[in-house]
């Protein structure tokens, strides 16, 4: 497979669906230095489904170079296509190397790519070999770069969803402890997400954690997580 030609073909598909109006919406909600064509996620998935129909027998030796080529692209959509491809071939994710993931995380500058990479790729990658890979989440959490710290937290969420360990709640709360004093919204929103996600399996433990950290966590974190515990929603509005 000519990965450069395939990347260009996928880019033409992206360009054909460009939406200047939605581009402005994305630019406002997901500020980034990347070029934006204004595709919605469901449109990106349509492109991937069509590509898969044309490449039913794609090999690992072709898929990973294509993902790498797409990630080198200059647009948000090319990188989203790269991550979406990996999600459609989940057996490939455990075969990624930390060096590849570390290079990608150095390129991210917005919450959308951080969260998709963390939840859908990094988390399952760690879950495949937790004993040898969990340390990378801690390394990310201790980086100076705020996007890397958010990636570490979201990676924990992704790991818990892919294959929760018996001690996943303890590990998650330990990571939250590392950043609970921070007030950067990129971190506090990830803390809220991690705790709310944990309420699904360990509501009592999360409640005790909130009680013990009432004056330490950002106010919106405490409010959203308590709302989730009481109503099932972070905004506090009961379903139905």
Indicate the fold that domain 109-240 takes in CATH.
1.25.10
Question: Residue 55 pLDDT more than 70?
Answer: yes
Residues 183-239 have pLDDT tens digits of: 999 999 999 999 999 999 999 999 999 999 989 999 999 999 999 999 998 887 776
Q: What is the pLDDT of residue 237?
A: 76
Q: What is the pLDDT of residue 144?
A: 95
Could you tell me what percent of the chain has a pLDDT over 90? Answer: 90
Q: Say yes or no: do domains 1-95 and 109-240 share a fold.
A: yes
On whether the CB atoms of residues 140 and 118 are closer than 8 A, the answer is no
Angle formed at CA 161 by CA 131 and CA 100, multiple of 5 degrees: 55
**Burial classification of residue 66, based on how many CB atoms lie within 10 Å of its CB (0-12 exposed, 13-18 middle, 19 or more buried):** buried
Domain ranges for the chain: 1-95, 109-240
* Domain range 1-95, CATH architecture: Alpha Horseshoe (1.25)
Residues 56-67 have pLDDT tens digits of: 899 889 999 999
Of 75-79, 80-84, 160-164, which range is least confident?
A: 160-164
Q: What is the pLDDT of residue 239?
A: 67
Range 163-192 average pLDDT: 93
> Of 119, 48, 40, 50, which Cα lies nearest the Cα of 84?
48
Q: What is the pLDDT of residue 32?
A: 95
Residues 102-149 have pLDDT tens digits of: 999 999 999 999 999 999 999 999 999 999 999 999 999 999 999 999
User: Cα separation of 140 and 161, whole Å?
Assistant: 19
Residues 10-29 have pLDDT tens digits of: 999 999 999 999 999 999 99
User: Cα separation of 121 and 92, whole Å?
Assistant: 10
Inter-helix orientation angle 3-16/76-88, to 10°: 110
Strand partners, 75: 35
Q: What is the pLDDT of residue 30?
A: 94
Q: What is the pLDDT of residue 93?
A: 96
Question: Residue 163 pLDDT more than 90?
Answer: no
Q: What is the pLDDT of residue 164?
A: 79
């Amino acid at each position: 497979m000519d990965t450069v030609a395939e990347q260009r073909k996928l880019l033409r598909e992206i360009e054909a669906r460009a939406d200047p109006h939605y581009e402005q919406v994305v630019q406002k909600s997901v500020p980034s230095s990347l070029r934006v064509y204004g595709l919605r996620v469901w449109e990106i998935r349509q492109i991937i489904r069509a590509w898969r129909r044309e490449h039913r027998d794609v090999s690992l030796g072709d898929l990973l170079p294509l993902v790498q080529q797409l990630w080198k692209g200059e647009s948000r959509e090319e990188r989203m296509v790269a991550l979406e491809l990996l999600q459609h071939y989940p057996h490939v994710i455990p075969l990624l190397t930390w060096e590849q993931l570390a290079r990608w995380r150095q390129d991210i500058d917005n919450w959308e790519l951080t969260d998709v990479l963390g939840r859908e790729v990094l988390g399952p990658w760690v879950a495949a070999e937790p004993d040898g890979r969990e340390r990378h989440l801690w390394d990310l959490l201790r980086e100076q770069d705020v996007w890397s710290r958010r990636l570490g937290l979201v990676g924990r969420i992704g790991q818990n969803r892919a294959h929760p360990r018996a001690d996943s709640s303890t590990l998650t709360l330990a990571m939250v402890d590392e950043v609970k004093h921070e007030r950067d919204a990129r971190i506090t929103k990830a803390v809220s997400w991690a705790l709310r996600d944990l309420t699904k399996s360990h509501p009592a433990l999360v409640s005790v954690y909130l009680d013990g950290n009432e004056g330490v966590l950002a106010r919106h974190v405490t409010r959203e997580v308590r709302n989730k515990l009481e109503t099932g929603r972070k905004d506090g509005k009961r379903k139905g």
